[in-house]
Chains A and B, each alone.
Chain A
């Protein structure tokens, strides 16, 4: 009897010598399909994801990485959605699943950081180049478009005009595309087409963490002033920001601008530094 017991102990001991300590961590599968959207105020971020396939997890950890910052946990939840008030900060989000002290790999990253576009020259409607400018709804990239072509109507979010002949008459204006057909002079150049009905608003004193004004506070056009920010609210509920780089060149009929575009529909967060 003692001999059998001893043999068993010997086998266990030798096995332990070769195998070592068994793995203590359980593999937890991450959640998937993380999506980002705006709440109805346009200032808060709503995250949704599909549950982790691992059974009996304790919940999910939501991570936020502000611009120029690092990923840090901001909350734990036991549901598959989360609403974050970032106080005007744009950033990136990830979610992990956890159980006891074990945590899964993170989901793919989603972002509320606006897409920044480099300086580009836009022409007054009578200038030698394109007067229209618009943002791609998938990439956020900005580009100029000729207002004299009806095909541009599907792409233009604003244009620059002085509502009269020649390029040497000030002031210039930043106008919603649909205004072109309401101006007696501009309508002689811009063809009839389904031009977007957007809003423009000068936003003095906007800081890096400011949010843009809400829909309903925008005008059909604003007078163009140099070195000033203008907010844009599009008819399909996207928000953009324009900075007029320098003042208009009334010889060439040009204005340099930089822009930012928020790809999350309805989100007014527009960090631009």
Chain B
């Protein structure tokens, strides 16, 4: 009888520790899996942002080149000399008459 009671007690304590330990290990494993997924998502986001920055840098470079070309073009244009036209203007249909365009809004 005494031996049976001792056996039950030992089994009970073992079960207590084993179940607690396995539960904690399982929770930790799930947490690690979640964190790994989040790291993957953040890595993808960083890669995406890096690509966008590179595209923007290329766009800025192209715009600067275009701006330089336009400013050079303006300097080289000269108005041709000539006589003023004396022809009369043809009559036009009613034209829009907007009020003054103002900013600051």
* Complex contacts, A198 vs chain B, CB 8 Å: 105
Give complex CA distance A162, B96 in Å.
6
Q: Is A179 in the interface zone, CB < 8 Å from B?
A: yes
A16 touches B13 (CB 8 A): yes
Give complex CA distance A173, B12 in Å.
84
A12 touches B94 (CB 8 A): no
Give complex CA distance A162, B95 in Å.
9
* Size of the chain B interface, CB-CB below 8 angstroms: 35
B98 touches A163 (CB 8 A): yes
- Convert A154-173 into 0s and 1s, putting 1 for each residue whose CB lies closer than 8 angstroms to a CB of B: 00000000111110010101
Min CB–CB distance A95 → chain B (angstroms)? 17
* Complex contacts, A10 vs chain B, CB 8 Å: 5, 8-9, 12
**Closest chain A residue to B23 by CB distance?**
A21
A220 touches B9 (CB 8 A): no
Q: Is A219 in the interface zone, CB < 8 Å from B?
A: yes
B105 touches A197 (CB 8 A): yes
* Complex contacts, B24 vs chain A, CB 8 Å: 24
Interface residue from A73, A179, A215 paired with B99 (Cβ < 8 Å): A179
Interface of A, secondary structure class, is loop
A residues 8-40 near B (Cβ < 8 Å) are 9-10, 12-17, 20-22, 24
Min CB–CB distance B26 → chain A (angstroms)? 11
* Complex contacts, B103 vs chain A, CB 8 Å: 199, 216-220
Min CB–CB distance B16 → chain A (angstroms)? 4
Q: Is A83 in the interface zone, CB < 8 Å from B?
A: no
* Complex contacts, A215 vs chain B, CB 8 Å: 105
* Total cross-chain contacts (CB, 8 A): 107
Min CB–CB distance A41 → chain B (angstroms)? 18
Q: Is A221 in the interface zone, CB < 8 Å from B?
A: yes
B97 touches A185 (CB 8 A): yes
- Convert B69-102 into 0s and 1s, putting 1 for each residue whose CB lies closer than 8 angstroms to a CB of A: 0000000000000000000000001111111011
* Complex contacts, A70 vs chain B, CB 8 Å: 41
Interface residue from A13, A69, A197 paired with B12 (Cβ < 8 Å): A13
Min CB–CB distance A200 → chain B (angstroms)? 8
- Convert A210-253 into 0s and 1s, putting 1 for each residue whose CB lies closer than 8 angstroms to a CB of B: 00000111111100000000000100000000000000000000
Give complex CA distance A74, B4 in Å.
57
- Measured CB to CB, the residues of B under 8 A from A are 2, 5-6, 8-13, 15-16, 19-20, 23-24, 27, 31, 38, 41-42, 45, 49, 52, 93-99, 101-105
Which 9 A-B residue pairings sit nearest by Cβ, starting from the closest?
Answer: A13-B12, A199-B105, A16-B16, A13-B9, A9-B9, A218-B105, A21-B20, A163-B96, A182-B99
A-B contact pairs, 19 of them (CB 8 A): A6-B5, A13-B8, A21-B19, A21-B20, A21-B23, A69-B45, A163-B96, A164-B96, A169-B96, A173-B96, A173-B98, A200-B105, A209-B52, A218-B103, A218-B104, A219-B101, A220-B99, A220-B102, A221-B101
